[in-house]
Amino acid sequence: MPAADGSVGVAAIGYAFMGKAHSGAWRNVNAYFDVPRVRRQVLVGRNQAAVSAAAERFGWDETATDWRAVLERDDIDIVDIMTPGHLHAEIAIAALQAGKHVIVEKPLANSLEQAIAMAAAAEAANANGQRAIVNFNYRRVPAVALAKQLIDEGRIGPIRHVRASYLQDWLADPSSPMSWRLRKEEAGSGALGDLGSHLTDLVLHLTGESITELSGGMRTFVTERPSGESGDGAIGGKGGADGPMEAVTVDDAAWATAQLSGGGVAQLEVTRMARGRKNGLRIELYGELGSIAFDLERLNELEFFDGAAGDGRQGFTRILVTEAGHPWVGAWWPDGHIIGWEHAFTHQFAQLLTDLRDGGESSPSFADGLAVQRVLDAIERSALAGGSPVRV
């Protein structure tokens, strides 16, 4: 529970790509938002030398190599999990049972069965005032939050069609070496879980609907890679390692055509093989009255088409989402100054800390993560069935 001064202690488990992003958010959240003070208490990793170097660089008070021992500490209130997916369920459930609040990087789990168990543990812990969230941080991009406001206000009307894609190219080179992200036993899936989880969450979150049925597919284009590791498989990782080859056991690309509960249709595609696309997430929502589009590579902009405009005056409006009245923006810089990808993590943690202080429910919840996992599972089942339609 929080210290006498109201501060909260955080233990972060993982220190590579996401460890860097989360550490920066924990560092900045008190500087820009009026939330309980954070103590960056302990950074946890298996390699003592590596985690010690990361803790010094990122500003953590101490380190540990045994996450189980960390869960027993009274000075830890929040456990922030950034491990490969196969460890999410074990650590998160144990942390919840130890009375901690929990953050898990997306996707929630490697399998539907694990996600169901995690959601059940979170529901039980919620009765004790604990909160558990999945870090679908793109919900916390101000332009995406504005899109949600406009949709909820009915500005585009009932949604007819959604087009959503997430395209990267960091695995387009066949000589790029193996990482844990390319092993099913550690990552669960490839582009499907890594990118498809973000994309699916945005579709569900923005529409406020569920996906009821879909037809999907998956493809692995490079079936083996040099066995030399490429760090944690971060975007832009370079390859060329010599040595024996290792089989790739996850997908390079995945896609689906889905039925929305409101009667509309959604098309989703993800790949890590799109040359020239570095972090190209784009979502377009077309409604009876208007349309909205967002592109992550233009993170501060939102495209809005108002179908109510008169003839001769219709067209997409570019909204620069940098005004103090836009979600979260006022905490940063004067109007008109852009923010970046990393700010979404700070916004997510600020929201969680606000919810903990005020007793509010937190999102994206483990139940939200489970809803995403059901869609990912359905895409995989459809792919295994040759693209046949399956219920979600």
Pair (253, 190) in one structural domain: yes
Q: Using CA atoms, how far apart are residues 385 and 47, in angstroms rounded to an integer? A: 41
Q: Characterize 364-383 residue by residue with b for buried, 16 or more Cβ atoms within 10 angstroms of its Cβ, and e for exposed.
A: bbbbbbbbbbbbbbbbbbbb
Structure tokens that stand for 367 in this block: 């139940």
What is the tens place of the pLDDT at every residue in 164-176?
Answer: 999 999 999 999 9
Per-residue pLDDT band for 141 (boundaries 50, 70, 90) equals: very high
Per-residue pLDDT band for 314 (boundaries 50, 70, 90) equals: confident
Number of domains in the chain: 2
Residue 98's SS3 state is coil
| Last residue within a domain, chosen from 120, 138, 156 | 138
391 within some domain: no
| Last residue within a domain, chosen from 138, 161, 182 | 138
We report the CATH number of the domain holding residue 90 as: 3.40.50.720
What is the tens place of the pLDDT at every residue in 224-269?
Answer: 999 976 555 444 344 444 569 999 999 999 999 999 999 999 999 9
Q: Given this model, what pLDDT does residue 80 score?
A: 98
392 within some domain: no
Pair (14, 55) in one structural domain: yes
pLDDT tops 70 at residue 161:
yes
Q: Using CA atoms, how far apart are residues 273 and 256, in angstroms rounded to an integer? A: 17
Q: Using CA atoms, how far apart are residues 339 and 141, in angstroms rounded to an integer? A: 9
State the average pLDDT over residues 171-183. Answer: 95
* Model confidence, pTM: 0.95
State the average pLDDT over residues 29-49. Answer: 97
Could you tell me the CA-to-CA distances from 69 to 74, 90, 389 in Å, in that order?
11, 14, 46
Higher pLDDT pick, 314 / 192: 192
Pair (96, 152) in one structural domain: no
Instruction: Give 3-state DSSP helix, strand, coil % of the chain, rounded to 5.
Output: 35, 25, 40
pLDDT tops 60 at residue 369:
yes
Please state, rounded to an integer, the average pLDDT across all residues of the chain.
95
Pair (184, 112) in one structural domain: no
Structure tokens that stand for 137 in this block: 């941080």
Pair (34, 167) in one structural domain: no
Pair (289, 342) in one structural domain: yes
Q: Given this model, what pLDDT does residue 1 score?
A: 61
* Domain with 208 in it: 140-361+372-384
Least confident of 2-16, 132-146, 334-348, 356-370: 2-16
